[in-house]
Amino acid sequence: MFNGTRGDQLVVDLHTDDFDPYLIVEAPSGKQFDNDNFEGNKHRSLLNLTLEETGDFEISTTSFQKGETGPYTLTLTPQRADGPLITNYDGRLAAGDETLSEGEFVDTFEFVGTPGRHVKIDLSSTDFDTYVMLFSPSNVRTINDDSAVANHSIIHADLTEAGTYRVRVTSYEAKKAGAYHLRIERAGAPTAAQQSARDITNLVLGRAATGQLAAGDLEPQPGKYQDVYAFTANAGQNIRVDVTSRDFDTYLTVRTPSGKDITNDDFEASSSRSVVDLTLPETGRYQIFVTSYDDKETGNYTVTASLRTGAVANAIAPRAGGTVYGVFVGVSDYGGCANPLRFTADDPVNVRDALIRSAGLQARNAITLTNGAATVANVRRAFSDLAPRIGPNDTFVFFFSGHGSQRERLTGPEPADADGIDETVEFYDAPMIDNEFATMFDQIHAAASLVILDSCFSGGFAKDLVSKPGRMGLFSSDEDVTSLVAEKFRAGGYLAAFVRDGIIDGRADDGHDHRINALELSQYLHQRYAGESQVKSMTAVLADSFNYQHLVVDRGGVGPYAVLFALP
């Protein structure tokens, strides 16, 4: 119980790691406010209230599911006035400022934040390479080095805590001084309807729900709006989750109760539909995340979770005894026709050797092409040589590290790729566009074909390549984003380094069953990307900040629990 006064602003926050919490606040008049999953977080329920009455209020804490028990934390926090929504500061880093551990000068600013609001931190300077950090009241850190251009750092964040936030302005390199401009821009208080749209919606199996992506929704990445749904089902049930829209290119993620993500972009080459078919691995509450493939897309959609009879169509599972084949390509030296790259010719060798060491690849079943040997003709010949040897129970891997680019499609937009732009991989002597690459791939008839592209704009290959059965793609960036060089790992790209690490000694084998399935590999890569984005010492060589770069995983027609590699 608590005694409140009309006009008071309060945050009631319920958190637990032991069960799915549910929060209820009842006003003196009997009017009830409740929250299940605050902004899709199944371990948290929160109400941000401006009291409409004076008197005794009652808080009830419970669980969403029957019979759940465990400890929890309940916090009641009065809110101070937020102050102006936009604040501008002109400052200067200089000798005598506080310094970080490596000698960087740093200035600190504060603002009061409220859960459910969005903040944009914008730092720019003409004198030094900017670096900005945002610390929550509980000291959770969000960072950014460079946004679209150097000397300009931006953080977008949805505030999840009540209290004082700190913004720390510094430089990427030690002892750099100079003037800067900092702008802190906060969204106003969300309306009840907006907040409701940001929380979870419970689905009834077999019953369609309609929604809308719009400004004000959750933004898991800057400019990507997201809605969250949930359903409860039992292990062994066959479920299809289906999202369709006439307004935007759909992208679907299903999260299991234990926290594993299963994704789909284009179902059967349709950019307006995303589908996940799954035999449920566990009993519990599954979350559905509906978003768009491209930034700032909005519009209406329909989402359904329904039971299916019979086997799940896309749960392709190659036997553990299948043979692994691979083509491994990388170009560092383009013979003066393009900027040279560091380590990209080493990447295919390192990934190949990891597969030989830990995943059953035999040297005779691998073709490696680097630098001058990585011509279009040689890549085509490698496919032609291996294709007759690959059987229906085998795994095929294609790996590329090097330049990627884009070009306008002369024939204009296509139904499955509506932006009118083709993405390319740049081999030593000539580029190959995504459509040509997909045609070359048609001669491979493996149980599972894994395509790994560590190159700029590589996410654009997902639409053309992964839409056929048995293909899974790992791409180092979205279709409109450049990739970064992973110099700290002595690798041409982060994806190359992380794939190598996941294969060696079975580090991606989360189930410890001496097999790596499609879900385990993609989950390992997501975790490595997320962890690395918080490391200040990363090197941004090619363009956009690692914070905005996004690993693209599209399992297409390969089921999440399909075995890719059998380990020794």
- Identify whether the C-beta of residue 288 lies closer than 8 Å to the C-beta of residue 228: yes
- Summarize pLDDT for 162-189 with one digit per residue, the tens: 888 999 999 988 899 999 999 999 876 6
Residue 17's CB: how many other CB atoms inside 10 A?
11
Q: What is the mean pLDDT of residues 230-259?
A: 91
Highest mean pLDDT among 257-261, 422-426, 520-524: 520-524
Domain boundary among 28, 60, 78: 78
- Looking at the DSSP assignment, which residues form a beta bridge with residue 277? 240
- Sheet with 55-63, strands from edge to edge, namely 2-4, 55-63, 21-26, 32-35
Structural domain harbouring 464 = 324-566
| CA–CA separation, 422 and 83 (whole Å) | 47
Same-domain status, 410 and 523 = yes
**Mean of per-residue pLDDT scores for the chain:** 84
**3-state SS assignment for residue 168:** strand
Evaluate if residue 399 carries a pLDDT over 70. Answer: yes
Same-domain status, 298 and 410 = no
Domain CATH code at residue 54: 2.60.120.380
Q: What is the mean pLDDT of residues 224-235?
A: 90
Evaluate if residue 529 carries a pLDDT over 60. Answer: yes
- Residue 270's pLDDT is what? 79
Domain boundary among 78, 100, 133: 78
- Residue 430's pLDDT is what? 92
- Residue 150's pLDDT is what? 67
Same-domain status, 558 and 426 = yes
Same-domain status, 390 and 510 = yes
Q: What are phi and psi of 54, to 5 degrees?
A: -110, 135
Same-domain status, 20 and 101 = no
- Residue 480's pLDDT is what? 56
Evaluate if residue 456 carries a pLDDT over 50. Answer: yes
Same-domain status, 486 and 541 = yes
- Position 447 in a domain: yes
- Residue 244's pLDDT is what? 95
| H runs (alpha helix) in 308-444 | 347-358, 376-386, 434-441
- Residue 351's pLDDT is what? 96
- Structure tokens that stand for 506 in this block: 């079975």
Evaluate if residue 401 carries a pLDDT over 90. Answer: yes
Q: Residue 342 is which amino acid?
A: R
Residue 8 — pLDDT band, cuts 50, 70, 90? confident
Evaluate if residue 546 carries a pLDDT over 50. Answer: no
Q: Is the pTM of this model over 0.75?
A: no
Same-domain status, 182 and 224 = no
- Summarize pLDDT for 102-142 with one digit per residue, the tens: 889 999 999 988 887 788 899 999 999 899 999 998 888 88
- Identify whether the C-beta of residue 338 lies closer than 8 Å to the C-beta of residue 455: no
Among candidates 186, 173, 158, which has minimal Cα distance to 40?
A: 158
- Residue 166's pLDDT is what? 94
Same-domain status, 178 and 202 = no
Same-domain status, 176 and 198 = no
Same-domain status, 182 and 252 = no
- Position 318 in a domain: no
% of the chain exceeding 90 in pLDDT: 43
Domain CATH code at residue 419: 3.40.50.1460
% of the chain exceeding 70 in pLDDT: 87
Of the two residues 198 and 276, the one the predictor is more confident about is 276
| CA–CA separation, 363 and 356 (whole Å) | 7
Same-domain status, 236 and 337 = no
- Position 396 in a domain: yes
Among candidates 391, 492, 378, 494, which has minimal Cα distance to 440?
A: 378
- Position 317 in a domain: no
Residue 78 — pLDDT band, cuts 50, 70, 90? confident
Write down the residue that tokens 């009065």 correspond to: 78
- Position 314 in a domain: no
**3-state SS assignment for residue 530:** helix
- Position 527 in a domain: yes
Residue 408 — pLDDT band, cuts 50, 70, 90? confident
Same-domain status, 61 and 91 = no
| CA–CA separation, 14 and 72 (whole Å) | 7
- Position 502 in a domain: yes
| CA–CA separation, 402 and 425 (whole Å) | 7
Domain boundary among 186, 215, 236: 186
- Position 298 in a domain: yes
- Residue 434's pLDDT is what? 85
Number of domains in the chain: 4
